[in-house]
């Protein structure tokens, strides 16, 4: 099996002064008012209708043709694609656990209304969101990866097939991974929790990834749920997407905070909060997320029972426009305080270790991949691994006659094992 090449993350040590609204002290920002207004103009678009969600989010329904996707140079003449026909096939439905497992997860803003036809819901970015950011240029981007070559020199790119032994920094992952084939899609049910964030710039995800090498970099498209207070302004669990074509260096972003992803759905907002949240020993909630390649090289994102959200046009990628070489399911904690002591207490998954099992640990199940056989199936070659087993761990529960369930996560700092 191809070894997953891990990445070393460059940690950005910019610190923004805290905002003390109650004292009416103007927050100190690294950026000028002009820079902030220019960035807001780029991120937000004129609203046809505005919906104020009870969770505090503002959802703007914007003209589908005015979305930022078309600001991308490769998409100047792009025409919006139709949803692929294969989504109408029953095998793409996520019915397997529907009655048992409560695929009733929905977005809070939907309670207050819906977006009209011909528009898409865009979560409005506020001035405060930008003032929390370490960099305006990198707003919405994960920290770039750094790689170590064999003479221990940090490089900012690497060949995915190279033979570098690298230890990732600033992020800790616990994954189930499939490789060794050409993948053209995956879907899975992700259990929904609200893990605790200890340090203000930490974030934690439960998600799926599709990756492929691009020269000395890798390309990745991703979706799932995330708790990321620095980016979103609170600790809510949110539905997110991500893409990059250069190992998180300069391309791509979360949600619709850069040009690239073409949204078609009127009813789901990327980055919006989702509910309900599962409770320990109580009711479990999950949602189905899928990413599939169409005949034209576009990767479609869908949720629950084949609700298409939109797609990443093939033009964004070099290798991924044909297929992915690595598919992953699991969680990641981003923090400067991972792999060193004191470890962050930011949780992954539910905050419980994998062996807690159903009702305790976060799970991903109903895992399927699609390759050129065009059948949706459980991957033949699969491998569960975690980077910090004492802090976050993994358990792929495979029992004969049953669909496997992948459990992952943990509490982070737990002395003496994870000091």
In the complex, the smallest distance separating the C-beta of residue 256 from ligand NAG, rounded to whole angstroms, is 20
Pick 153 or 341: Cβ nearer ligand NAG: 153
Pick 13 or 151: Cβ nearer ligand NAG: 151
Q: Per CB under 6 A, which of residues 268..297 are in contact with ligand NAG?
A: none
Surface-to-core class of residue 385, CB atoms within 10 Å of its CB (0-12 exposed, 13-18 middle, 19+ buried): middle
Contacts of 128 (CB under 8 A, 6+ apart): 19, 27, 233
Indicate if 222 belongs to the active site. yes
Among candidate residues 4, 1, 2, the one with its CA nearest the CA of residue 387: 4
Q: Which span sits near ligand NAG by CB under 6 A: 18-26, 73-81, 138-146, 385-393?
A: 73-81
Peptide bond into 276 cis (omega under 30): yes
**Count, residues near ligand NAG per rule CB under 6 A:** 17
Q: Contact with ligand NAG (CB under 6 A): which of 56, 113, 180, 215?
A: 215
User: Contact 16/28 with Cβ under 8 angstroms?
Assistant: yes
Pick 127 or 377: Cβ nearer ligand NAG: 127
Residue 77 in the binding site for ligand NAG (CB under 6 A): yes
In the complex, the smallest distance separating the C-beta of residue 152 from ligand NAG, rounded to whole angstroms, is 8
Peptide bond into 416 cis (omega under 30): yes
Q: What separation in angstroms does the CA of 413 have from each of 344, 362, 394?
A: 6, 18, 16
In the complex, the smallest distance separating the C-beta of residue 232 from ligand NAG, rounded to whole angstroms, is 8
Residue 149 in the binding site for ligand NAG (CB under 6 A): yes
Contacts of 98 (CB under 8 A, 6+ apart): 305
Q: Which span sits near ligand NAG by CB under 6 A: 36-44, 150-158, 322-330, 386-394?
A: 150-158
Q: Which span sits near ligand NAG by CB under 6 A: 72-80, 172-180, 284-292, 359-367?
A: 72-80
Of the candidates 332, 355, 380, 388, the residue annotated as catalytic is 332
User: Contact 412/346 with Cβ under 8 angstroms?
Assistant: yes
Of the candidates 222, 315, 318, 380, the residue annotated as catalytic is 222
Indicate if 355 belongs to the active site. no
Q: Contact with ligand NAG (CB under 6 A): which of 138, 196, 275, 339?
A: 196
The C-alpha atoms of residue 67 and residue 72 are separated, in whole angstroms, by 10
Q: Contact with ligand NAG (CB under 6 A): which of 24, 41, 76, 117?
A: 76
Pick 19 or 40: Cβ nearer ligand NAG: 19
Pick 315 or 397: Cβ nearer ligand NAG: 315
Pick 90 or 151: Cβ nearer ligand NAG: 151
Contacts of 29 (CB under 8 A, 6+ apart): 16, 36, 130, 131
Contacts of 89 (CB under 8 A, 6+ apart): none
Contacts of 132 (CB under 8 A, 6+ apart): 16, 19, 230, 231, 233
The length of the chain in residues reads 419
In the complex, the smallest distance separating the C-beta of residue 94 from ligand NAG, rounded to whole angstroms, is 31
Pick 40 or 199: Cβ nearer ligand NAG: 199
Query: How far is residue 129 CA from its own chain's centroid?
Result: 18
Site string for ligand NAG, 216-245 (x = CB under 6 A): -------------x----xx----------
Residue 153 in the binding site for ligand NAG (CB under 6 A): yes
The C-alpha atoms of residue 379 and residue 327 are separated, in whole angstroms, by 10
Q: What separation in angstroms does the CA of 267 have from each of 46, 121, 170?
A: 18, 7, 35
Which residues participate in catalysis according to the annotation? Answer: 222, 332
Q: Give the footprint of ligand NAG on this chain (CB under 6 A).
A: 74, 76-77, 149-151, 153, 155, 159, 161, 196-197, 213, 215, 229, 234-235
């Amino acid at each position: 099996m191809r070894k997953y090449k891990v990445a070393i993350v460059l940690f950005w040590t910019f610190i923004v002064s805290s905002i003390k609204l109650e004292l009416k002290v103007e927050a100190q920002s690294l950026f000028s008012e002009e820079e902030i207004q220019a960035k807001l103009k780029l991120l937000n678009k004129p609203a046809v209708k505005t919906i104020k969600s009870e969770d505090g989010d503002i959802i703007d329904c914007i003209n589908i043709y005015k979305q930022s996707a078309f600001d991308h140079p490769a998409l100047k003449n792009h025409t919006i694609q139709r949803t692929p026909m294969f989504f109408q096939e029953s095998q793409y439905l996520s019915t397997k656990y529907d009655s048992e497992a409560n695929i009733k997860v929905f977005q809070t803003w939907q309670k207050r209304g819906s977006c009209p036809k011909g528009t898409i819901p865009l979560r409005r970015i506020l001035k405060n969101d930008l003032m929390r950011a370490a960099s305006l240029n990198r707003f919405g981007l994960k920290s770039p990866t750094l790689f170590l070559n064999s003479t221990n020199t940090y490089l900012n790119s690497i060949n995915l097939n190279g033979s570098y032994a690298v230890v990732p920094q600033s992020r800790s992952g616990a994954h189930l991974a499939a490789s060794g084939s050409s993948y053209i899609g995956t879907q899975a049910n992700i259990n929904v929790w609200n893990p605790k964030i200890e340090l203000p710039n930490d974030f934690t995800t439960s998600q799926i990834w599709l990756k492929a090498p691009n020269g000395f970099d890798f390309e990745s498209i991703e979706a799932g749920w995330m708790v990321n207070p620095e980016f979103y302004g609170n600790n809510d669990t949110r539905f997110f997407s991500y893409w990059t074509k250069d190992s998180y260096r300069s391309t791509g972003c979360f949600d619709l905070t850069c040009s690239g992803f073409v949204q078609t759905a009127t009813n789901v907002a990327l980055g919006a909060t989702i509910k309900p949240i599962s409770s320990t020993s109580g009711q479990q909630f999950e949602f189905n997320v899928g990413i599939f390649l169409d005949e034209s090289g576009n990767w479609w994102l869908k949720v629950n029972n084949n609700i298409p959200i939109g797609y990443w046009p093939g033009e964004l990628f070099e290798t991924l426009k044909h297929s992915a070489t690595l598919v992953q399911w699991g969680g990641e904690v981003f923090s400067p305080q991972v792999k060193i002591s004191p470890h962050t207490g930011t949780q992954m998954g539910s905050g419980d270790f994998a062996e807690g099992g159903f009702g305790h640990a976060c799970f991903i199940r109903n895992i399927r991949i699609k390759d050129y056989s065009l059948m949706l199936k459980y991957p033949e070659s699969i491998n569960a691994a975690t980077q910090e087993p004492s802090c976050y761990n993994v358990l792929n529960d495979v029992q004969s006659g049953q669909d496997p369930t992948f459990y992952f996560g943990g509490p982070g700092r737990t002395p003496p094992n994870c000091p």
